Amino acid sequence: MKKNILFFIGIFFLVSSYSFSAPAELFGTSLIADVAAKVSPAVVAIESIQYVRTKHFPGFGDPFFDQFFKHFFDDDFEGYRNNVIPKKGSGSGVIIDSAGNLLTNQHVVDGADEIQVIFENGKKYKAIVVGQDPNSDLAVLKIDSKESFSFAEIGDSDKLRVGEWVIAIGNPFGLGITVTAGVISAVGREISIDRNRTFKNFIQTDASINPGNSGGPLVNSKGQVIGINTAIMPYGQGIGFAIPVTSARRIINDLLAFGKVRKIGIGISVQEINESLADYLQIPPKGLLVTEVSDGSSAGKNGISPGDVILSMDGKEAKTPNQFQELVNRHIIGESVSLEVSRKNKTTTVKVPIQDDSGKTSTVKGGKNFLGLEVEEITEDLAEQFSLTAQEGVIVIGVAPGSLGANIGLRVGDVLQGINDSKILSVNDFSNKLSQVSKQGKLVLNIVRDQISQILVIQLG
């Protein structure tokens, strides 16, 4: 009996001791505090000021006199015509090196005339913009000081797992440096910030993110920055988004080194493969078709040619041209990617160095016809109007509603480059070649849209 009592007493103390120590381990309370203490010295609140000039007539309070005198003030009174109003903004940032370079969101400092950063201990410094990129919503600032600063370690966002602990640190509502915690809710999210910008591959977290957190770090349990907090879902609770740092590595390096982001690639254009295209070209119905290889490009120098099918890059499959470019963007100039290429039903692996594609252009060619298209040869005015880089060929300036051209997705601004493997050099050339197409056969169009070469295969009749 005594042995049983002693046994249960032992179990009681074992369970009791575990239950008192377990919460810190299981629920991460100590962990979160330790990580916050480690990273917070590298996190700053950002205050930006933009001076906005406005035309303003003070008015007398009487509609008649106000209307009568207003034009005198607008035309002649400099003081009233040039009121300067300071427009203030706030956000967060994280220092990424001892020199005081820090990372934040581009929208936090967009148009700022003055920038001030404030540390957790209240210390304030002026900062300047080193570089900014609206497309990724990232900016790099430099603190105006020769001091050595504490900085945060950059982690690997590719290794994130849904459900793991993360911590958001920032300056919500201008309250000062604040810590919130949660988990990774999802990865690879796509959201639209406005009509012109859609961001892909975002990290979704339920760690509380509010206005003012923008630009602050999302940190893993090791105290490494794995994301830059950038957006919230205004109609949802516990739904925030961060830019993954691994996919933004090249952007950050370019902003630090050049103040802008260089376009990189391997010198090719690719497009998705549908059944019609696979059947016409006798290629696998998967991967991406190489439609163009730039002269002197790294791809061309390493044997890639139009008609090749890229099955994967570094072992990762890309199903769309955007996904392909995202894989490219994870590298820096000079690094090589490994392409799995299908050519004449044989598969081979090709190593291709990443190159600077800034300023690289595609060429194009295309007329008037039964497709319901109105086309013109490219002029300087049309090139400027449609932001074209191609200087040859014809451009679609009209598509008849309900026409074959409209039905197959052709649109104003497309540049027609060829018909059934024949190049188009002028409007007359386009019309002549189109007239030779059998209405019962296949029509293959080479087009350039948004500077990307594509092939359209249409079954006629």
From 48, 90, 92, 137, active-site residue? 137
User: Residue 423's Cα: distance from chain center in Å?
Assistant: 35
From 107, 294, 331, 414, active-site residue? 107
More confidently predicted of 259 and 72: 259
> Between β-strands 224-232 and 240-244, what pairing exists: parallel, antiparallel or unpaired?
antiparallel
The H or E element that residue 8 is part of is helix 2-26
| Average per-residue pLDDT for the chain | 80
**pLDDT at site 360:** 53
**pLDDT at site 314:** 92
Task: State yes or no: pLDDT of 433 exceeds 70.
Answer: yes
CB 218 within 8 A of CB 187: no
**pLDDT at site 283:** 86
Q: Per-residue pLDDT averaged across 363-369, rounded?
A: 39
> Does the annotation count 214 as an active-site position?
yes
**C-alpha triplet 102, 103, 105: angle, nearest 5°:** 140
The H or E element that residue 435 is part of is helix 427-435
pTM: 0.62
DSSP 8-state class, residue 280:
H
For the ranges 67-71, 72-76, 119-123, 409-413, the maximum mean pLDDT occurs at: 119-123
Which three-class secondary structure state does DSSP give residue 315? coil
DSSP 8-state class, residue 316:
B
- Domains of the chain, earliest start first: 41-143 (2.40.10.10), 153-258 (2.40.10.10), 264-356 (2.30.42.10), 373-459 (2.30.42.10)
Q: Per-residue pLDDT averaged across 249-272, rounded?
A: 86
CB 341 within 8 A of CB 309: yes
Q: Per-residue pLDDT averaged across 401-410, rounded?
A: 77
Which three-class secondary structure state does DSSP give residue 222? coil
Q: Per-residue pLDDT averaged across 304-311, rounded?
A: 89
Task: State yes or no: pLDDT of 219 exceeds 90.
Answer: yes
More confidently predicted of 11 and 386: 386
**pLDDT at site 22:** 37
More confidently predicted of 412 and 432: 412
Report the C-alpha gap between 2 and 8 in whole angstroms: 10
How many residues can be counted in the chain?
A: 461
Crossing angle between the packed helical segments 29-39 and 2-26, to the nearest 10 degrees:
30
**pLDDT at site 155:** 93
Report the C-alpha gap between 261 and 73 in whole angstroms: 45
Task: State yes or no: pLDDT of 76 exceeds 60.
Answer: no
Q: Per-residue pLDDT averaged across 309-328, rounded?
A: 88
For the ranges 112-116, 258-262, 315-319, 424-428, the maximum mean pLDDT occurs at: 112-116
From 40, 157, 214, 362, active-site residue? 214
Task: State yes or no: pLDDT of 12 exceeds 90.
Answer: no
Q: Per-residue pLDDT averaged across 407-413, rounded?
A: 82
Task: State yes or no: pLDDT of 282 exceeds 50.
Answer: yes
pLDDT band per the 50, 70, 90 thresholds, residue 26: very low
Which of 70, 35, 407 minimizes the C-alpha distance to 222? 35
Which three-class secondary structure state does DSSP give residue 180? strand
Task: State yes or no: pLDDT of 79 exceeds 50.
Answer: no
Residues 6+ apart with CB under 8 A from 417: 363, 364, 365, 366, 393, 423, 424, 445, 446, 447, 448, 453
Task: State yes or no: pLDDT of 367 exceeds 70.
Answer: no
> Does the annotation count 342 as an active-site position?
no
Task: State yes or no: pLDDT of 19 exceeds 50.
Answer: no
The percentage of the chain sitting over the pLDDT mark of 70, rounded to a whole number, equals: 80
**Of 86-100, 104-118, 321-335, 372-386, which range is least confident?**
372-386
10 Å CB burial of residue 201 (0-12, 13-18, 19+) is middle
Backbone dihedral angles phi then psi of residue 131, each to the nearest 5 degrees:
-170, 155
**pLDDT at site 60:** 46
pLDDT band per the 50, 70, 90 thresholds, residue 55: low
More confidently predicted of 331 and 105: 105
Q: What is the pLDDT of residues 321-358, one digit of tens each?
A: 878 888 888 888 888 999 999 988 899 999 999 988 76
